[in-house]
Amino acid sequence: MKRGTYILVVGPTGSGKNTLINAAREAVPGLAFAVSATTRPMREGEVDGVNYHYITREEFMRRVEADEFLEWAEYGGNCYGTLRSEIETALSKGNLILSDIEVQGVRLIREKLPREEYAVVYVDAGSWENLVPRILARGHMSAEDLEKRHQRYLDEASFMAEADYVVENHDGKLDEAIQEFIAVVRKIGE
Ligand code: 5GP
């Protein structure tokens, strides 16, 4: 049976990745979403087992030891990991499975999976100057935290050239970005 494809969606915070992913989940039948495990606290509106599996650091490290993660990374002081079982089940059934992941994780997955089993989609929301107002609109952030985000932005942005697909999500063009993202997901699934 033909194996499925793992779609890795990368992009800086504030790029609107989540909005695009949610739209694709509604529009593309059979598209699975990989629910990662994380040690970060649940945010308002999130649901355990839907957005993430929220676990303690002890439990996270137990799973690392048990080799349950295809990859894991520390980001902003919290751990995030992709569950091997979830990805393998989808790929073996020939399904499309998508996850929202930062660049360290993508680099690890590229080393582990055969080239034909994954595709990297980068969501580009323009320059750092363009993103700052979007990030600040989500709530107050110290100058130090903003600088950390900036460093991460530079790391993520440098990844754009390595992506298989780039979807532009510029201000005021959300509908176009959603349509383009859905088209890319469908194309990967063909
Ligand atoms: P947030 O805390 O805002 O949900 O996510 C923070 C960052 O962690 C985002 O860039 C997201 O893409 C990344 N992330 C979420 N799940 C995983 C995962 O399983 N592995 C890795 N490496 N990064 C993840």
Residue pLDDT, tens place only, 50-90: 999 999 999 999 999 999 999 999 988 999 999 999 999 99
Please indicate, yes or no, whether the overall pTM of this predicted structure exceeds 0.85. yes
Among 75, 106, 122, name the best residue to mutate to test ligand 1's pocket (greatest count of ligand atoms within 8 A of Cβ): 75
Segment (H or E) for 108: helix 103-112
Phi and psi torsions of 72, nearest 5°: -150, 160
- In this structure, the residue with its CA closest to atom 22 of ligand 1 is 105
40 Cβ closer than 6 Å to some ligand 1 atom? yes
75 Cβ closer than 6 Å to some ligand 1 atom? yes
6 Cβ closer than 6 Å to some ligand 1 atom? no
- In this structure, the residue with its CA closest to atom 6 of ligand 1 is 75
For the domain covering 5-189, report its CATH number: 3.40.50.300
Q: How far apart are CA 154 and CA 24, in angstroms?
A: 26
Residue pLDDT, tens place only, 110-166: 999 999 999 999 999 889 998 898 888 888 889 998 998 899 899 899 889 999 999
Ligand 1 centroid to residue 97 C-alpha, Å: 16
Q: What ranges do the domains of the chain cover?
A: 5-189
156 CA: nearest ligand 1 atom: 10
108 CA: nearest ligand 1 atom: 22
One-letter amino acid for residue 156 of the chain: E
186 Cβ closer than 6 Å to some ligand 1 atom? no
Beta strands in 25-68 (DSSP E): 31-33, 36-38, 52-54
